[in-house]
Each structure stands twice: as structure tokens, then as C-alpha cells.
Amino acid sequence: MLDIRVGNGFDVHAFAEGNEITLCGLKIPFSKKLLGHSDADVGLHAITDALYGAIASGDIGTHFPPSDNAWKNVASEVFLKHAVQLVEELGFKINNIDCTIICEQPKIGPLSNQMKTSVSKIMDLDINRISLKATTSEKLGFTGREEGIAALATATVCKFE
């Protein structure tokens, strides 16, 4: 029997004064930074939670509590690699990832190929199995007011039993 699981992930980080953000593992020069306990990589956090969701194994906060100073300023690829490893330990293969970044700025379109390459390297997953999309919220809400970035991700994993 083919056991197919789907998980979703959602994350938000607020902007603060700064000059660079990290998005999907890519460092992007920008007029602000993202606030967070780790490097606040909202894209990688959403993908990580989608993987944990697919295998019903908690969330990023369960595995890496923000109260634990060991994870302060850590690169979020550490979280994503942990989720990938957990998926594999349970005998699943990652089929595909679909991630949507929601913000007015920076413009994601010109960066999306670099971001996909980055996610592909971190996950050791073929780039053709990774989708990275972007949208705005039409100037509405906190993303519309450019107060932060939101990200939404879906992951599908499968195994033969």
C-alpha cells in the first residue's frame, strides 16, 4: 500500500531595523531585518513545519523551543535538516514541497530560482520537486503594511508499506 501524507506549515516574522533578511536560506540585502529567536527565516520555518505536519511529529517549537538559548541566532537550515532526517527515519520519502511567500517587499520573483536552489541543497531534494511562489496581500493587513513577511508551505511525503 502506498502511504501518502500531506502536511502544512505557516509562519510569520516581523520586520525591524536592519539591512539584510534570510529567506529560504538565501541572504538578501534589504532595508530591514526579520525579528526572531533564530535567523527568522520565515520560508524555511514554514517548510520545516509542513514536514513535521506530514509525519505528525509536532512542530518547530516542540523540537527547538525558543526558550532554549542553544537555538538563538541559529541558521534555520538546522531545523529543516532535522525535519528531513525525521521524515527519512520514519521510512518516508519527500515527494514535493510547495511554498508561498506573502509580502510586498522584497520582490521575490527575481530571487525565486536562487531560493529554490538553496532549499534544494539544504534538503538534498531535486529542484523540480520544489515550488516557490510569491504573492502580496494587496496592501491589506500586516504584510500589506510591510510590517513583516508570512509564509505558507505544503509538503507531501510517501512510503510503500
Binding site for Mg ion (CB under 5 A): 11, 45
Around Cβ 93, how many Cβ atoms within 10 Å? 12
Considering the complex, state which of residue 92 and residue 97 has its C-beta at the smaller distance from Mg ion. Answer: 97
Residue showing the smallest CB distance to Mg ion in the complex: 45
CB of 36 to Mg ion, least distance (A): 6
The grid cell for 31 is: 532595508
Considering the complex, state which of residue 79 and residue 92 has its C-beta at the smaller distance from Mg ion. Answer: 79
Considering the complex, state which of residue 11 and residue 77 has its C-beta at the smaller distance from Mg ion. Answer: 11
CB of 7 to Mg ion, least distance (A): 16
CB of 55 to Mg ion, least distance (A): 19
Residue 128 — φ and ψ, nearest 5°? -70, -10
d(C-alpha 136, C-alpha 14), whole Å: 15
Considering the complex, state which of residue 28 and residue 90 has its C-beta at the smaller distance from Mg ion. Answer: 28
What does the DSSP assignment read for 36-78?
-SS---HHHHHHHHHHHHHTT---HHHHS-TT-GGGTT--THH
CB of 61 to Mg ion, least distance (A): 9
